[in-house]
Amino acid sequence: MNILLSGGAGYIGSHAALSLLDKGHSVHIVDNLSTGSKLLIPKNAKFTNCNINDESKISDLIKSDKFDLLMHFAGFIQVEESVQQPEKYFENNTNNAIKFFNTCKNNGLNKLIFSSTAAAYGSVSENKLIDEDTNLNPQNPYAESKIRTERFLFNNQDKFKFIILRYFNVAGADKKLRSGQISKKSTHLIKILSEVIVGKRDKIEIFGSDYNTPDGTAIRDYIHVSDLADIHTEIAEYLLEKLETNLFNCGYGNGFSVLDVINTANNIYQNKIIYKFAKRRGGDVEKLISSNSKILNHINWKPKYNDLKEIINTSVRWEEKINASNT
């Protein structure tokens, strides 16, 4: 396969590129490096520095190569920021994405995989796993911006063949440490926790201790980024073979609270993590745990890293690597 991949200088996109390249496929990354890093672009990938809304550059790029499909990762992802600056998220995650998809379609590329979010489900009160038929209830503009883009695709099924992937909480790093998370303003629990362990931060804040959960802290379903990357490779092959539109959750179906994650890390790293409780952040939800039975029944994917300790370990090892390179 020859894949056009937007946002490939970012955390998830770079891991997807590695998965594709490791399996012998070709990748051309488009990224404006506004939040991504050149350090994360795999050596064997082609790279074009441009905005996804640059119709002329994107058209020329597609005309110069024969791509089988598009993987779209480019976008802003910080929930709290989206509450403060909603228009930034609707402009980039929705309007620019739609313009990008139309540019691709107008140049003969109408098969795509869209990177969406489990935040679309919002807080689910029932004590059950979230499947793809669960009602959408976005609690923040980030989630709403993704839903609007999904809606555009579903309303244009006669023009596009696509798969939407709703990610649960993505964490960890490539086991070979070829990629990981680089962020100046990280809001991801396991990323921040890793920074505390390597000494880049002195403590971690837990936002909310009054949720209706066993220990009062929010619960999430963490999926290792390399497993998620492999899903994209399998889904790309599925889409090209079946040529059918579909929607899948991406998670393990296991829920861990914020305190579960911190206690697990403290057991590994000898109680290095100091934490304090703070008020809830705007837009955060109580609990998100996936049902992944649909994706397991549709593609040839079996999780390799379904272990919270493994997720934390790879994240910490990556943090140690980038910390050493900055000293």
Phi, psi of 81 (to 5 degrees): -60, -40
252 is catalytic: no
C-alpha 241/C-alpha 273 separation (Å) is 47
C-alpha 141/C-alpha 122 separation (Å) is 11
Length of the chain as a residue count: 327
Residue 212 tokens, joined: 């209706």
**CA angle at residue 289 from 230 to 312, to 5 degrees?**
60
List the catalytic residue out of 142, 211, 222, 305. Answer: 142
C-alpha 299/C-alpha 317 separation (Å) is 31
Residues with Cβ within 8 Å of residue 54, at least 6 apart in sequence: none
The burial class, CB within 10 Å (0-12 / 13-18 / 19+), for 87 is exposed
> How many CB atoms are closer than 10 A to CB 73?
26
Residue 271, SS3 per DSSP: coil
Q: Which of the residues are catalytic?
A: 142
